[in-house]
Amino acid sequence: MKPFADLSRFINPRNVAVVGASARESSQGRRLYDNLVLHSSVPGEVYAVNPAYQEIGGRPCWPSISALPDAEIDVALIMINASLVLDALRQCVARGIPFAVVMTSGFSEAGEEGQRLEREIAELCQATGLHVYGPNCPGFVNVRDRLGMTFSPAFKDDLNTGSIGLATQGGGLGRNLLQGLSFGQGVGLWFSAGNEVDLEIPDFIAHMANDPKISVIALLMEGVKHGRRLTAALELARARNKPVVVLKVGRSEAGVRAAQSHTASVAGTAAVNSAVFRQFGAIEVDDLDQLLAVSRLLTRITPKSGNGLCIYTFSGGTAALAADIAGAASLPMAVFAPETKAALRKLLPDFAAMDNPVDTTADILRNPEASAACLRAICADPAVGTVLFPVPMDYGSITDGIAQAIATVAAETDTLIVPVWMSRRLGGGFQLLETAGLLPFLSLSDAIAALSKAIPWKRPAPQSAPASHQSAGAASGVRMLSEAAAKSLLREAGLPIPEGRVVASAEQAAQEAERLGLPVVMKVVSAQIAHKTEAGGVKLGIASAGAAREAYAAIHESVARHSPGAVIDGILVERMLPPGGREVLVGVHRDAAFGLVLTFGLGGIFVETIRDVAHRMVPLSRDDARALLREIRHADVLDGVRGQAPADLAALEDLILRVSDFAWSHRDALQEMELNPVWVGAEGQGAVPLDALIGLRLGADTGLGLPKP
């Protein structure tokens, strides 16, 4: 693997030659020359090279690189016709110039002749040690030392510097990023090397990883030329504790085509690219705004930032919306210490919401000092690492005061404060936050998405589930039926339930297994055990009477260990359906707003993991049932894959409609039901629920003839 280049003389050159400098106003050659002579701080000389002129702007101009005065030149900037570039590079080698920036287009991105020229440049670099940056690039900008080796007319205005290092493979979007960091921590170095014939993104990452003035590295990549060099550079950045944020173009077929035509790079496979970024610690983002947002957040976070999120605002609706979006993103919400709550009670009116999220109410708008005091109290709480402060509207001088309070407290604390200016009226408060370096977001969703990626949140340990479904059901006013009771009801309602019987001894189990026809399945019957598999209460493929006796004993022993307090009503013995069927879920639950809702999706033990489901209000029409089958993400599983026969979709539609009818008939009593898994055979084989769970509302008249609990 080619070692990373030492870019010291490139980053901070003393003397620079501009090959293709022009006296013509507004030409690229003139802008490049003026950027260096008029707008940069070059410690040595800037030499103009162009045989058409003897002077440019009152300074001497030389006909060729070979004709330049005897001086140590660090970088040659080349902006001449593509056909002349190779000769200019050979003159660089002869003069001992170690770096050349080729801005000219017309190389590998332009066809076979350009590709041939580019190969010759690569061969020259390999043979001589010359380092070429480009071709087809806008140049290099060292913002922190005010050095613009670029023809961009915006260079003289985009000089907000900082600790973010930027490397891109495109010029226009790179300038967009530079201008997006006009306040707060800006860009220190911007590399944009176009076709990367020699110097590549990995060389720039490696340099910035070792640069003590760079704290965050942002990448906009269209292609990956040498993957192993890239991963070595990412590993170096991780070893130096320099977070790398990357936006990789080419996640769609259209994006791949655009990337290849733009930079002639290999765009790579999106899934592989993402996996490699994760493996080597890079943070992959989804768009340009997120690249900016995450990079600038990383310059502000502290070890405390990931402790927990507090949402703080003066609008109840905004607080609820922000909390909802943060919850959907699984951000951990901070729990206030008693001292924090006491401080808020002293400062806020009684009708304010003082738990997280905090709604100070509009009452606080009259008193910016109180707002600042509340914010200080929250930031002092050790459980609060980050405060999201949405400002939903512009109230002129009132929100100006709120913005000043945010800026004042942010300068005093190591708790990260992230403002969100939600109004399109970007008033004085917005400008104040912007110039204070807080760079307010314009959208709650964008802010929370960036916080999700930028901050290493300290996630609380997951809480254990209720000991049994019965205890959870009773607590919520629901009576859970055993599987056997649920199946009995469904069988009476006309659903295709497997033949079976509840037995109370090992001998009965053996007899019933032989009567039904082997193989059979045996399952514990208990209203207190909803997840029988986890309790060891299910035995499949029982192929003999002796195996049935053993399974009976094994189920009792396992369930006694797992759920010692559960009441066992017996063991259900059922005929086992043949292998090869698809497993789906059909369920109904009572929604607080819409009443009974039917859910369909892929089933089995991975329902909660895959979460591939669709929903319809009960009752359903046949069109509803048919649409459900097509609405899940992996509907093609039902069509048959890799030679598998299509599933019996007609039988599945009928089953869904029967479940809907059953639920609607008992809509006053039914709280929930779940058929999972439902076995679906090939066409003509039917759809059969293998397990059933029904929960009835306590006190409701079921009309089902059930014994009282």
pLDDT digits (tens, 9 = 90+) for 54-100: 999 999 999 999 999 999 999 999 999 999 999 999 999 999 999 99
602 and 682 in one domain? yes
Q: Pick from 234, 263, 252: which is nearest to 171 by CA?
A: 263
What pLDDT, on a 0 to 100 scale, did the predictor assign at position 534?
86
Answer yes or no: is 221 within a domain.
Answer: yes
* Boundary (domain end) residue, out of 256, 284, 299: 299
pLDDT digits (tens, 9 = 90+) for 151-193: 999 999 999 999 999 999 877 788 889 899 999 899 999 999 8
Lowest-pLDDT range of 279-283, 605-609, 635-639: 605-609
In this model, does residue 261 exceed pLDDT 80? no
Instruction: Please state, in angstroms and rounded to a whole number, the distance separating the CA atoms of residues 221 and 255.
Output: 12
Question: 468: pLDDT confidence band, cut at 50, 70 and 90?
Answer: very low
Q: Pick from 215, 223, 164: which is nearest to 193 by CA?
A: 223
127 and 1 in one domain? yes
The pair phi, psi for residue 688, each rounded to 5°, is -130, 125
Answer yes or no: is 464 within a domain.
Answer: no
* Pairing assessment for the beta strands 670-680 and 582-591 based on DSSP bridges: antiparallel
Range of the domain at 514: 499-575
In this model, does residue 201 exceed pLDDT 60? yes
642 and 533 in one domain? no
In this model, does residue 473 exceed pLDDT 90? no
278 and 310 in one domain? no
More confident position, 111 or 316: 316
pLDDT digits (tens, 9 = 90+) for 18-38: 999 999 988 999 999 999 999
What pLDDT, on a 0 to 100 scale, did the predictor assign at position 506?
94
* Pairing assessment for the beta strands 478-480 and 538-542 based on DSSP bridges: unpaired
288 and 363 in one domain? no
Asked if residues 675 and 584 have their Cβ atoms less than 8 Å apart, the reply is no
Instruction: Please state, in angstroms and rounded to a whole number, the distance separating the CA atoms of residues 634 and 508.
Output: 42
Tell me what the mean pLDDT of segment 556-583 comes to: 91
Question: 637: pLDDT confidence band, cut at 50, 70 and 90?
Answer: confident
In this model, does residue 470 exceed pLDDT 50? no
- Cβ burial of 248 (10 Å; 0-12, 13-18, 19+) is buried
Residue 568 sits in a domain whose CATH number is 3.30.1490.20
- Cβ burial of 245 (10 Å; 0-12, 13-18, 19+) is buried
Length of the chain: 709
What pLDDT, on a 0 to 100 scale, did the predictor assign at position 50?
97
436 and 322 in one domain? yes
- The set of residues, in sequence order, having a beta carbon less than 8 Å from that of 69 and lying 6+ positions away, is 47, 62
Asked if residues 75 and 17 have their Cβ atoms less than 8 Å apart, the reply is yes
670 and 542 in one domain? no
Answer yes or no: is 621 within a domain.
Answer: yes
Asked if residues 662 and 493 have their Cβ atoms less than 8 Å apart, the reply is yes
In this model, does residue 708 exceed pLDDT 60? no
pLDDT digits (tens, 9 = 90+) for 511-549: 999 999 999 999 999 888 878 888 999 999 999 999 999
Answer yes or no: is 24 within a domain.
Answer: yes
Check residue 333 and report its DSSP letter: B
Q: pTM value? A: 0.80
441 and 318 in one domain? yes
Q: Based on the structure, what is the number of domains in the chain? A: 5
Helix (H) or strand (E) holding 31: helix 28-37
Asked if residues 353 and 337 have their Cβ atoms less than 8 Å apart, the reply is no
More confident position, 664 or 462: 664
558 and 611 in one domain? no
619 and 530 in one domain? no
Q: Pick from 383, 443, 393, 399: which is nearest to 418 by CA?
A: 443
203 and 186 in one domain? yes
What pLDDT, on a 0 to 100 scale, did the predictor assign at position 82?
92
List 241's β-bridge partners, or say none.
none
Q: Pick from 149, 130, 48, 47: which is nearest to 89 by CA?
A: 130
Tell me what the mean pLDDT of segment 702-708 comes to: 56
Q: Pick from 338, 327, 230: which is nearest to 279 by CA?
A: 230
Tell me what the mean pLDDT of segment 325-352 comes to: 94
31 and 4 in one domain? yes
List 682's β-bridge partners, or say none.
647
pLDDT digits (tens, 9 = 90+) for 272-328: 888 899 999 999 999 999 999 999 999 999 999 999 999 999 999 999 999 999 999
Residue 640 sits in a domain whose CATH number is 3.30.470.20
Tell me what the mean pLDDT of segment 339-367 comes to: 89
Tokens, residue 503? 């037995």
Q: Pick from 661, 460, 489, 679: which is nearest to 577 by CA?
A: 679
